[in-house]
Amino acid sequence: MKKAIPSLLMAGALAVSAGVQAATVTDSFSLGPLTTDLTTATATGNLAQFDSSLGTLTSISLILSGDSTSTTSIDNNSAQSQRFAFDSTLDWEFEVLAGSGNFVTGFTTDLAHTGGRVSLASGATLDLGTTTDNGSITLTFSGADLAQFIGTGNVGIGCNTFTGSTFNGGGGNLVANQVTSANCSGDITYTYDGTPPPVGQAPEPAAAWLIGAGLLGFVGFRARKSS
C-alpha cells in the first residue's frame, strides 16, 4: 500500500493542474431612482458581453431586481363620508434583450394599501404614508441561447413597470395622489471553461503546491526504500 502513496499524490496534483479550468466572470448595472412607469426606452441597463477569448461559455445566470418607493394620499371629493378599500401595486417586466420583444414577467411590489375598508369624511384626506418594497427573479441560459451574450459589446436589459390601483367603494368620488420612484438593477454571471495554460507556462499556485507535495512524497519514498 505504501508504494501507491507517491503515485497517488502525483496523480492528484496533476489532476488538479489539468482540471482547474471552470471559471466565472461577472458584470452588473443599476438604474434609478427613476419616476415610474419605467419603459425600455427610458430604463435600459447594459451588461458587458462575454469575451470568447477567455474560453468556452457554458452557462449564464442573470438576476434582475427592482425596488419601489411610493408616497400616497387619498382625497374624498364626495359630499358625504365614504367607506372604501384601496390597493396599489407595481408590476415588473423585463425585456431580454432590449429591442428583441422578448418580455419576461418579473414580480410585483406594493405601493400602498389601506389594509381593508376604512371611512373618510367628506372633503378629508387620508395619508397612507410612504411604502417601500422590492423583488427579484433569476434567469438561466444555456445551449443555443448563449450566443446572443457573446461578443465585445453590451447586451441591454429593458426595465418596464406598470402601476395598478383599485378602489373598492367610494362611488367614484375618491382621488389617489401618488408619487412613485423605482430602481432597477441586474447582475450577470458567466460560467465558462477556461483555456488551458500554454505548454511551459507555470501552473496556478495551488496546483503547483500540490505538484511539489507529490514530488517531495516521491523523493521521501525513494529515500526510505534505498535505506
pLDDT in tens, 70-109: 999 999 999 999 999 999 999 999 999 999 999 999 999 9
CB 146 within 8 A of CB 95: no
pLDDT surpassing 80 at residue 225: no
Calculate mean pLDDT across residues 189-206: 66
Who contacts 5 (Cβ-Cβ below 8 Å, separation ≥6)?
217, 221
| Confidence at residue 20, expressed as pLDDT on a 0 to 100 scale | 45
| Confidence at residue 198, expressed as pLDDT on a 0 to 100 scale | 56
CB 92 within 8 A of CB 108: yes
C-alpha pair distances (Å), 145 with each of 65, 102, 134, 137, 148: 21, 13, 28, 18, 6
> How many angstroms separate the CA atoms of 16 and 14, rounded?
5
What digits encode the pLDDT tens for the residues 139-157?
999 999 999 999 999 999 9
pLDDT surpassing 90 at residue 8: no
Rg (CA), the chain: 29
Calculate mean pLDDT across residues 171-186: 96
Calculate mean pLDDT across residues 165-194: 96
The domains of the chain are located at: 1-21+199-227, 22-195
Calculate mean pLDDT across residues 162-167: 97
C-alpha cell at 106: 418579473
CB 209 within 8 A of CB 15: no
Confidence of residue 196 (pLDDT cuts 50, 70, 90): low
Lowest mean pLDDT among 17-31, 50-64, 96-110, 207-221: 207-221
Smallest Cα–Cα separation from 77: which of 43, 42, 37, 125? Answer: 125
| Confidence at residue 5, expressed as pLDDT on a 0 to 100 scale | 38
pLDDT surpassing 80 at residue 212: no
| Confidence at residue 21, expressed as pLDDT on a 0 to 100 scale | 78
- What's the farthest any 2 CA atoms get from each other in the chain? 108
Average pLDDT value over all residues in the chain: 85
pLDDT surpassing 70 at residue 16: no
pLDDT surpassing 70 at residue 201: no
What digits encode the pLDDT tens for the residues 43-60?
999 999 999 999 999 999
